[in-house]
Structure 1
Amino acid sequence: MSFKIICFQANEAPPRQQRSRSPFQPVGREVSLPKPKVHDAEAPKAGVHLDLVVRDSKGTEIRPGDVLLFSAKREQLMEQLQKGPTGWSEELVGLVLSRALLVIGIRPDGDLAVAVKAFVTGDRTTVTVLRPETTKMLSHADQTGIDADGKHLRKGETVTLLDDEGTFRELQNRPGRNWNDEILPFLGKPVVIQFFDRNGDIRAMIGRMGYLKTFNPRATKKVECVKCSGGRDITVGSSVAVAVPLSELKSLQTEQFGGWKAGMEALLQGTLTIAEISCNVQVETQSPSCMVRVGHHGSDFWLNPVALRQTASPVLVLPQPSPPHEKHQTRPNFGSSTHGGSSLEQPDAAAKKDRKNPTNRPPIPILSQNTTAKQPEKSIREDMELPPSPNDRLPVSAKAPRLV
C-alpha cells in the first residue's frame, strides 16, 4: 500500500477538489476612497464663498474689497441687524446709514460681511451682516485714477493736494467735489486715498474724524518719497542706514510704524535698500504717517523713516567706459560734407594704432558724393598701388596717329 503525502506551503490554498464545501459567507471590506486634495492657495478664506455671485440693488456684482452704501429704509436695517449675529445699537444704525461700508467677505448664505468703521477710524474688526439687495455700489476694489502728472493712483496710496489755490479751485469746480475754508489749510499737504467713487474722484479723510472729502485726482500729486532723519528725500531704491542708537530706534518703532520686531538689532549694521513706502492715517491727527520697508537677510522690516539716513547708493555708481571708447573720442568728428576739408583730416597717432586691431576700429562714415569726397578715394587708391620696381622699364607713351 502506498501513501501520497500532499504538502502545502504557508498562505497557499489547497486544490479546488479538496476544499471543504462550507456555506458561502460574504466578507465585507471597507474601501477607502481617495480624498480630494485642497491646496493652500485654493482654500477659501473664512467668511468668503468663492463660487457665490451676489449683486446690489442695481444689479452690480459685489466682490470683497468693494465699497457700498446702504440704500434701504431704516426699518429694513433694524430688521436685518436684529436677525444678524451682532445685534443692533443706535451707534451701529447711525454708522450704517451715513458711512461708506467696506465689504470684508461674502457669507455662504449670500449675505455680506461689512466693516462699518473702516472709513471712520480705520477699524476693520467691527463687522456686521447685510443683505446685498439693500446696498448700492460706491467703489470697486480695483478702481484707479490719474494725478496731475499723469501717474496712476490706487487706493491706499498717499497724494498731496496742489498748493496753488487758484488751480485747485478750478479743478474742484464740479458738483460733488468739496471746497471750503476747511480744506484751505490742507493745500500742499499729504492725504491718503481711501477709495475712488463712481465718478472717479478721490475720497480722502481730512478735517473732522470720520468725514471723507471728495477731490479731483488731477488736483493731487502722487507721493513717491518721504523725509529721513537728515531732512532729505528717500524713494524706493534709495540706500539708507540706521542713524540712531538701538534704544532710540526702539522708541521710534511705535505701532503706527510697524512696531518692534525680533531681529531688528541686526539692522544697525550695514546698508539697507528701500523696497516700499506705505502711509496710513493717524486717527488722532488725521494726517498720514509713512513707513518704509527694507529687506535684510531674507526678512522684511517696516521702519520709521526718521530713524534712517541716506547713504551713497552703489547702484548709481556706473562703471567707467572701456579704453576703446576713449580712443574713439580722440578721433576727429566727421562733420557734414558742406564743411569742406575739415572732415577729411587724418587720424591722430592714437587712432592709427587701432588699425592693427580691426575690432576696435570705429565704423567708416559714409560721405556724400561731392568734390571733397573724391579726395580720400584717390589717396586710398594710391596707397593700394605698389611702388614701381627700378628694373621695370618705364612705359613709353603712345604717339598720336598722324592723319594723312
Structure 2
Amino acid sequence: MISKYRNGEISSGQSYIMIISMMVGTGILGLARSAAAISQQDAWISVLLNGLSIGFMVGLIIFVISKFPNCTFFQYTSFLLSKPIAYVIVCLYGFYAVLTTSVIIRLLCELIGTWFLPKTPLFVISFIIVLTLIYITKDGLTSVGRFNEIVVFSIIPFIFLMFPSLSQASLLNLRPVGGSGFTNIIKGVIPSFYAFAGYEVLLLIYPYISNKNKNNLKYSVVSIIFVTLLYTSMVASQIALFGYQEIADILYTFIHYLDVLDFPIIERIEIFFTFFWTFSVLGTLTIQYIAGCIAFQSILKVKKINTFVYFLAPIVFILSLLPQNSVKVVSISEIIGKANIGFGFVLPILLLLMYILKGKRVNHEKGM
C-alpha cells in the first residue's frame, strides 16, 4: 500500500470517524444497566458527565501529542517519561488492546450465536470474526480508516430505533432529577467508562494523520459530544420506559428496549438491530486491534505491521473463548472499563505535566 507512513495513513476526517466508530460498540448494550445500578434514575446524568469529561481529555490528548506531530506513541512517551517507562507503558497498552479485542469478539459471538447462528459452535463464529479482522487490518491503518468510513453509517439506525418505544415511556421514571444524590451520580460515572472506551486510541493513531491541522482538536471533541448525546439519550429513554429498578435485572438493556413494540414492517426488530450493530462492532475491533499491533511494533522495531496482525490473531482467538458465559464476559468488560482510566485519564495528564515541566519541544524529526 503506497503511503508516506510505514503503517499506512489516515485523513483527519477519517480520524474523527474512527473515534465515533471506536466508541459506539459493545458498550451500548448494557450501559443503562451498569450506570443505573449505582445512579438509579440519574444514570443519564452520570453518562453525560462522563462524556463531557472525556471530551475534555480528548482535547488534552490532542494538545499534547500535537506538539510531536511526527513522533510515534513510543517516541514522544520516551521523550516525556524516559525510555524505560515508555517501554512499560506501550507494552501495557498492547496487552490492554489485545484483551479488549478478545472481549469484544466474545460479545459479538454471543449476539451472533443468539440471534443468527444458535446451533453454530462458539469457536467457529470466533474463528470467522478473527479471519475477518486479519483481512481488514493486514494492510495497515489506511484500510482500517476506509472500512470505518463505511461502518459509521451503521450507527444511524441506532438513532432512529430510540424513538418508537418512547410512546410507552414515562418521564416520572426519571424523577426526581438528582434524587439519587451527588455521590451516587459521581460513582455512576465509573461503570460507564467501558461504553466510552476507545478514545485513547488517539495516542497511537494521531501521528499517522496525513493532513494535521488546527481543526483536529475541535472536530475530535465534536465527535465525543456526538457519542455523549447519543449515549445519554439512549440511557434516559431506557430508564423512562422501564424504570431503573427493572433495568438492573436485564443483561442487554438496549435489545430489551427494542423488543417492547411490534413494528409493522420488521417483525423481529432485535435481529434488524443486531445486523447493523455487527458492522459497528467490527469497526471497533479493527481499530482496537491495529492499535495493539502498532504498540508492539513500535517497541520491537518490526518493519511490517502485518507481522503482528498474524502473530496476535491466535492469541486473541484463544482469549475470546475463555469466559464461561455472557455474565462473565460483561464483568470482564467492566474491569477493562476501569483499566481505561489509566490510559484515558492518568496517562494524558501525566504527559501534559511532563511536557510543562520539560518546558521545550522535542525535535520533531528526532529518532524518525
TM-score normalised to the size of structure 2?
0.18
Bigger helix share = 2
Q: Which has the higher contact order (CA 8 A, sep 6+)?
A: 2
Please say which structure displays the higher CA radius of gyration: 1
Bigger strand share = 1
